[in-house]
Amino acid sequence: MLPSARRPWAQTREGPAHPRTPLATERELATFLAEAERRAFKQAVFAVRNDQVALDLVQDAMLRLVEKYANKPTAELPLLFQRILQNAIRDHYRRSRVRALWTTLLSSLQGKDEDQERDPLETLRTDAGANRLGGPAEQTERSQVLRLIEQGLEALPARQREAFLLRYWEQLDVAETAQTMGCSEGSVKTHCSRATHSLAVFLKSRGVEP
């Protein structure tokens, strides 16, 4: 159960009246959130395996619902809230993997041969401390690093970029990536090795350190 002090729905809502469908009153909105919070919390805990992170995600989803959709009809609230919560969970996973990817890319510079047939992404692990939302400064830093990674990807040769995106963004394994690209598994590892080396050099040139 969320602490009552953290429940956001007691805010005053403003917005234009809906011309046809009755809008949710403040009491209806509060009732909906009170009924949905326990289910949402369990859902978030199952997804992220961390009570505090789950609490933060549910709290954030409730605030967004109140701030953006408080003037919606009651019948639309469940779908809207579920969409907001799922987006928050997906965003959390994306943020938590950025730090791990960043560290993996930079570690590929430490005495490794970029032509070696290996796949550095096989060593990718999420940091123990990455399974949390972090403060505004940390979230901003992760967003900046992600933008730099995307810029670095644009400069890669097409096959390296394709291998990297299939392995990391699509999370295919080496065999699946090889089948998709129509090449050998060794070629996939070589493309990924070269891609991670180039991205690591790019990040380091921009002052990014693990």
Q: What is the mean pLDDT of residues 68-74?
A: 89
Whether this prediction's pTM lies above 0.85 is answered by: no
Q: Residue type at 101?
A: L
**pLDDT tens digits along 96-117:** 666 566 666 666 555 455 545 5
Q: With 60 as the cut, is the pLDDT of residue 147 above it? A: yes
Dmax over CA atoms of the chain, in Å, equals 67
Q: Which domains does the chain have, with CATH numbers?
A: 21-93 (no CATH), 108-121+132-205 (1.10.10.10)
**pLDDT for the residue 11:** 47
Residue with the bigger pLDDT between 160 and 7: it is 160
**pLDDT for the residue 97:** 65
Hey, is 119 helix, strand or coil?
A: coil
CA angle 172/177/182 to nearest 5° reads 160
- Residue 114 to residue 203: CA distance in whole angstroms: 16
Hey, is 146 helix, strand or coil?
A: helix
Q: How many helices (H) and strands (E) does the chain have?
A: 7, 0
**Rg (Cα) of the chain, in Å, rounded?**
22
The DSSP call for residue 182 is T
